Amino acid sequence: MHLSENEGIEGNTFVVTGGLGFVGSSLCLELVRRGARQVRAFDIRHTSPWSTLLVQRGVRCIQGDLVCKKDVDKALRGATCVFHLASYGMSGKEMLQVGRVSEVNINGTCNVLEACLEFGIRRLVYVSTYNVVFGDKEIVNGNEALPYFPMDDHIDPYGHSKSIAEQLVLKHNGRPIKCRLYTCAIRPAAIYGPGEERHLPRIISLAKLGLLPFKIGDANVKSDWVYVDNLVLALVLASMGLLDDIPGKEGNPIAAGQPYFISDGYPVNSFDFLQPLLRSLEYDLPKASVSVHFALILGRIFWIFYTILYPWLNQWWIPRPLILPAEVYKVGVTHYFSFLKAKQELGYVPMVSPQDGMAATISYWQEQKSKTIDGPTIYTWIFAIGGMFILFCAGFLPDIGPVPLFRAIGLFFLRSMGAIRTVFLLGAAAHVIEAVYAWHLAKEWILLTLEDGFGNVLLLDSFHCDFY
């Protein structure tokens, strides 16, 4: 395709589902930059880290639920092109909420398709996933000719639902009602960049707590990553590839009905890829490795445990599972794909190298870290709490249960009951003083932010989330 930079964008109205998210907000801002008449960010959230900037740039933010037909109709009416990014259940606790995953990813996509047909929208770009063709078997330099992964063999509801949704979208290509709808699907690699919400915060928080004890799979296992700006470029190019008024291509858009793999083009071991980021933040890296088989056993244990907790999965006090089976395959089995088709048909070439993309990501996370105070690892917490509990039992409780054992241990090291009680009281006082000091530092930081008068609202929001 040889089109101008803003072909099919200037003067048109766009809707981005999931528009308040990491990729969605970047896409909205790029469409505004390229001269779109109106850009609507449709999202279930009222606000996000990017919502203020979106409003400032003229993006219309519409709150609504993808599974509610009225909400979808309200957002899409009058649009020229739709980018369907919204999904549910990609990682963490959400992967286990089977009903919600299917409801959003399948029923929500059906609502988008129906609205496109009802309102005569001409172009629909669907953001899919590698998981529509990848499950548990190695794929080396795969391409779009690969068949869909068997539906009954998907090990997580996300991959299953996204496969159904992608096939629905592509089968609707060329369907005429009020006008002909053209569709295509973008299959991105793992996404990274400054502000990414899913993968990196989870990995960094685990590393901060010392809960990255091992790598999974062999060192030669490779997979793809894609920097956010490269993905946004691919999405914009895909929308251009659905134009049906290009000279020589009238009525036959080159991207119509097509899927495209999108990546940076540098397959790499995921742990090696993340190593510079974690080192820059001074967090420990996994040194030991375990087999995929062992990691799968661990993942299934977490799956069973969290399935038991299903009614409470949305509660804040339920932590994210360490790892789940689908995530084991993602990091432990080689799977990477060529973007040659996207290059030949859409003109896609990554404009940000992995080195530059990771440098920007590192800079962002170093800035985030400077606004927070790192606490101890989970092992330090367990040791401190366990030690204080044993000292309290040994010094103050009667001889019931394991208390005599605790008291014997305490007397072995400290020699007297008075010493045990003194150590406990000093330890408790030290913890209280430490908590007061941390509160004092936090208060000073807030006052300093307010006095600076520079970005104080955004900084306060960031601090509040991190400190909480």
User: Which are the catalytic amino acids?
Assistant: 158
Half-sphere exposure of 338 (CA within 13 A, CB side): 11
- Quickly list DSSP for 311-323: GGTTSTTSPPPS-
Measured CA to CA, the distance from residue 468 to residue 457 in angstroms comes to 16
- Quickly list DSSP for 155-191: SSHHHHHHHHHHHHHHHTTTEESSSEEEEEEEEE-EE
**DSSP annotation of 124:** E
Half-sphere exposure of 432 (CA within 13 A, CB side): 6
What Rg value do the Cα atoms of the chain yield, rounded? 26
User: Which residues neighbour 136 within 8 Å (Cβ) at sequence distance 6 or greater?
Assistant: 153, 155, 329, 333
Listed residue (86, 67, 102) closest to 16, CA to CA: 86
Would you call 141 exposed, middle or buried from its count of C-beta atoms within 10 A (0-12, 13-18, 19+)?
A: exposed
- What number of other Cβ atoms are within 10 A of residue 312's Cβ? 11
Would you call 115 exposed, middle or buried from its count of C-beta atoms within 10 A (0-12, 13-18, 19+)?
A: buried
